[in-house]
Amino acid sequence: MAESIEVEGKVVAVLPGTMFKVQLSNSTGHVVLAHISGKLRKNFIKIAAGDTVKMEMSPYDLDKARITFRMKETNPNYTPPPRRRF
């Protein structure tokens, strides 16, 4: 059985039906059609244009991918909002 290829990319466009156009972060800038994995859908992880994501691709079809992880923002000036205690 073939192993999946893990790549990183940046979401370029949000399409209907939880589909996304993602530009790979390698030097060629290849754009693939990606959908959300079940774990992200189950845990209500939101993905927007501009987010950096990790994807799995089949070696047989390099035009489609499955988004498996949404990367955290690395903004040094970001401070999380204060937590409310009940």
Q: Which domains does the chain have, with CATH numbers?
A: 5-70 (2.40.50.140)
**Beta-bridge partner residues of 52:** 10
Angle at alpha carbon of residue 4, lines to 3 and 7, rounded to 5° = 140
| Cβ neighbour number for residue 76 with a 10 Å cutoff | 4
Residue 85's pLDDT band, with cuts at 50, 70 and 90, is confident
pLDDT at 57: 94
- Tell me how far apart the terminal alpha carbons of the chain are, to the nearest angstrom: 51
pLDDT, one tens digit per residue, over 23-55 is 998 867 899 999 999 999 999 889 999 999 999
Is 77 a residue whose pLDDT tops 80? no
Listed in sequence order, the DSSP H helices in the chain are 38-42
Cα separation, 10 vs 42, whole angstroms? 22
